[in-house]
Structure 1
Amino acid sequence: MIRACALALAVAVAGCASQAADRAAQDDARNAGSTRPRVVSINPCVDAVLMQVAEPGQIAAISHYSHDPRATSIPVDLARRFAATSGTAEEVVAQAPDIVIAGAHVAPATIAALHRMRIRLVQIGVPESIAESQEQIRTIAAAVQQRQRGERLVARIDAAVRAASVQHGPAPAALIWQGGGLVPGEGTLASELLSRTGYRNMSGDYGLKQWDVLPLEHLVARPPQVLLSVGAEDSSDRMLRHPVLAGLLQAIAVRRYPERLLHCGGPTIIDAVAHLARIRRAL
């Protein structure tokens, strides 16, 4: 009798184990066949990261800024392979994404629509350092279930910064100058990139804040050794053509700084430090 009960118990346990194994196998099969989330980006800096960490089929749409040669942070021919939206609730929801990744500022109507549709919203601010930008890459990569690709991009940024670093010699005083005299000061990603590539950001000498306007007379009175002009490439910075600067521009190094390198972190850092290093080596 005891042997019979034991045999029955063993059969029951084996049956439960078999059922659990079957359920686990079914779960594994479902997970293996599942697709990663589809994402809509409404921020051009996020677009640049997604191009590196997401599968093309995951990207439902990107920001319309990435289709504009004057505003994009990625090659336009690459950007135009993807649909674009201007970030309105109607356009975004029409793409039926699982996730929307945006900047720090999103229209309340868009937020409300995403909430109603139960679409996850991930917001990414403006990074103020390389480390912060790398954490944002990890956040984006995790959201699209591509953590390994995110880590590979982080490693590429680290390698590019190491390659562009200058360990010896005096650091030339430099300013990044936008049209109208807008200058990135200490505590910005641009300032860290200057420092890492062997320059000294001169903005602090003028008492400027993180982002501040430098009056033309202050620039003339205490010029930097290197002026990195966002408008030098296409002559859009009218202040550079001011008569007061005519003599000064013969005495200092004025070099172009493409606008696409100024506003984004992520993979843009790789191009930015390489550009700054080339200028530094040629001085």
Structure 2
Amino acid sequence: MRRSKSVLTTLALAGCLAGALPVVAADGPVRVVSMNLCTDQLAMLLAAPGQLISVSRIALDPVSSAMSDEAAAYPVNSGQAEEIFAMSPDLVLGGTFTDPFAVQMLRDLGVEVVQFPIVSRLSEIPDVVRQMGVALGREAIAEALAGDFEA
């Protein structure tokens, strides 16, 4: 069962993630909100306990999310800038198709937003895992997970 869940997680990440330009200090943000299913799943795998404070509503959908059970432990958000801003995040994670108006509003309000484009090849996943690790200040755990994808 653990192996199949790992495979599902790999496939979920493969369909979602790609390079980003993390701009967060190495020690990492304290309050992280994810507003995209792909970044939800990667953040749930890498974030320190208590670091991830909200995931997108779709993370709870077992049809869409390979980690819906894990997502149930987090408050959900609907991706609205006002809602996310009220959570006082240090960092917001999004994707290529995250609402550009919400992203821009959050940036205008001084919130750091890192967006991850969609992956086009499985071979890109380890780099994205490492980049998320840098964004979260969790480089060591990201390196271990990236190694699992490369194995």
TM-score by length of 2: 0.76
Q: Out of 33, 36, 43, which is 1:50 matched to?
A: 43
1:57 is paired with a residue of what secondary structure?
coil
Which amino acid in the other structure matches residue 51 of structure 1?
Answer: M
What is the rounded CA distance, in whole Å, between the counterparts of 1:128 and 1:35 in structure 2?
A: 27
1:123 is paired with a residue of what secondary structure?
strand
Q: Out of 66, 70, 74, which is 1:73 matched to?
A: 66
1:140 is paired with a residue of what secondary structure?
helix
1:56 is paired with a residue of what secondary structure?
coil
What is the rounded CA distance, in whole Å, between the counterparts of 2:125 and 2:113 in structure 1?
A: 19
Unaligned ranges ≥5, structure 2: 1-26
Unaligned ranges ≥5, structure 1: 1-33, 160-283
**1:101 aligned partner:** 93
CA contact (8 A) 2:77 2:83 kept: yes
The verdict on how the C-alpha distance between 1:141 and 1:93 changes in structure 2, with shifts beyond 3 A counting, is same
The verdict on how the C-alpha distance between 1:35 and 1:151 changes in structure 2, with shifts beyond 3 A counting, is closer
CA contact (8 A) 2:106 2:113 kept: yes
Q: Out of 120, 124, 129, which is 1:132 matched to?
A: 124
More helix by proportion, 1 or 2?
A: 1
2:79 is paired with a residue of what secondary structure?
coil
What is the rounded CA distance, in whole Å, between the counterparts of 1:108 and 1:36 in structure 2?
A: 22
CA contact (8 A) 2:94 2:114 kept: yes
CA contact (8 A) 2:126 2:147 kept: no
**2:9 aligned partner:** none
CA contact (8 A) 1:38 1:144 kept: no
Question: Following TM superposition, where does structure 1 have runs of at least 4 consecutive aligned residues deviating by more than 6 angstroms?
Answer: none
What is the rounded CA distance, in whole Å, between the counterparts of 1:99 and 1:35 in structure 2?
A: 9
Q: Out of 28, 40, 49, which is 2:33 matched to?
A: 40
Structure number with the bigger relative contact order (C-alpha 8 A, sep ≥ 6) is 2
CA contact (8 A) 2:28 2:138 kept: no
CA contact (8 A) 2:34 2:94 kept: yes
**1:113 aligned partner:** 105
2:50 is paired with a residue of what secondary structure?
helix
Report % sequence identity: 30
CA RMSD across the alignment: 1.7
Q: Out of 70, 75, 81, which is 1:89 matched to?
A: 81
Cα deviation for residue 91 of structure 1 reads 1.6
What is the rounded CA distance, in whole Å, between the counterparts of 1:65 and 1:98 in structure 2?
A: 22
**1:145 aligned partner:** 137
Larger Rg: 1 or 2?
1
